[in-house]
Amino acid sequence: MTARSSLTVVLAAGEGTRMRSSRPKVLHEVAGRSLLANVLNAAPHGPGSALAVVIGPDHKAVAEEARRVRSDVATFVQAERLGTAHAVLAAREAIARGAEDLVVAFGDTPLISAETFERLRAPLAKGAALAVLGFRAADPTGYGRLLLENGHLVAIREHADATEEERKVTLCNAGVMAFAGARALEVLDRIGNANSKSEYYLVDAVEIVREMGLEAVVIETSEDEVRGINNKAQLAEAEAVMQARLRKAALDAGVTLVAPETVYLAADTTFGSDVTIEPFVVIGPGVTIADGAVIHSFSHIVQSSIGKNALVGPYARMRPGTSLGDGAKIGNFVETKAATIEAGAKINHLSYVGDAHVGAKANLGAGTITCNYDGFFKHKTLIGEGAFVGTNTSLVAPVKIGNGAYIGSGSVITKDVPDDAMAVERSPQSNREGGAARYREMKLRGKEGKKG
């Protein structure tokens, strides 16, 4: 069976003034993705699926984010804010191309799923002209009510306009709708603005469809899935729901989360088998963790890959561009950035490794620092296979440490070290017999003098 063609119009023109932020509302994040990106990732993909995002004037950043997430997106500007139906018709050019299904979604509902979009479209294939997404609200106050007769949707009544009897209805409007494409423009163009705000409201589509002798239906989902974000409190609530989903998915996939409620994941985190995550770990976007890896407590990882049976932390920070090989280890208070650390290499504690390549089975002692920045440019450090770098060593990039080389503790290395060579850079030690006693005596005399 050939899949039906679709156009999803995502409304993302709102300013989000209640967010108290200069950033457009839909660019705030849940689970490491913008609200808009979460919606666009859930929207129909693949052949025959088109996508349009309606943005506000001067919202270049929103358009850029939409294109970053989905290369197939078209953007349209709603110059005036005259209601939801008016916003949809900003994408008239795309709608007029005649997709079989027109889906209208909102850029501030990051918890909606791809499966829900598919369920919403299903009645259109069976002849319905309109499908509206609804939910059973724990407290329906303020929501538009979905009014049914004999199982058919007959109207959406806003809370302010509802009778006492209608306000007892707990089935509420989520705002997301799907139209049969063949009649979509006709329905949208019939929506008027005879209301107190002189705006064009998408909810009026239900009664218009009924007047046209066509069918409107309701598809139900959970209240959590259609949470809209209007302020920072709601953003935090959505984050909590998403984290609960991601943790459950990880546990179901076999990941060991020792204290799940303390672990924060990103929407795109991927795990191999037999991975263990200890308490208080934060995993940001772009992280892959392979089979058997262990992430110890209080580690923070972003845009990095972790190999099989690798060990991270505790208290490790992996910044963007880190690749940790199979069986490699970074330990307590180690920070990495733009670093490739090959299989079996060890950086156990108190080190910074940035803009570097560390060869297989190399060992970097405590306090090893790659000095990668000269105040103007970044430079690379190359550390060969099996090299040993002693504690409290500074490697001043650009510099190359050869395979099997040995760096003495406390060295500041500014020149390349050949394979299997030993490099020691430190001033000769001198021991002054009795010097400590004389020093103490001198200081004590000075202290007594100050008292007098």
Catalytic residues: 349
CA distances from 209 to 88, 111, 128, 155, 183 (A): 17, 28, 10, 10, 9
Q: Give the pair of three-digit tokens for residue 399.
A: 């510099």
Q: What is the distance between the alpha carbons of residues 148 and 129, in angstroms, rounded to a whole number?
A: 16
CA distances from 234 to 27, 111, 237, 238 (A): 14, 12, 5, 6
- Asked if residue 111 lies in contact with residue 238, where contact means CB atoms within 8 angstroms, the answer is yes
Q: What is the distance between the alpha carbons of residues 330 and 301, in angstroms, rounded to a whole number?
A: 12
Q: What is the distance between the alpha carbons of residues 178 and 122, in angstroms, rounded to a whole number?
A: 9
**Helix (H) / strand (E) containing 236:** helix 232-252
Q: What is the distance between the alpha carbons of residues 8 and 101, in angstroms, rounded to a whole number?
A: 8
129 residue type, one letter: A
The SS3 of residue 315 is: coil
The dihedrals phi and psi of 386, each to the nearest 5 degrees, come to 70, 10
Q: What is the distance between the alpha carbons of residues 397 and 355, in angstroms, rounded to a whole number?
A: 9
Rounded to the nearest angstrom, the gap between the alpha carbon of residue 284 and the centroid of all alpha carbons in its chain is: 7
Q: What is the distance between the alpha carbons of residues 144 and 84, in angstroms, rounded to a whole number?
A: 14
The dihedrals phi and psi of 29, each to the nearest 5 degrees, come to -115, 150
The SS3 of residue 53 is: strand
- Asked if residue 323 lies in contact with residue 339, where contact means CB atoms within 8 angstroms, the answer is yes
- CB-facing half-sphere around the CA of 149: CA atoms within 13 A: 7
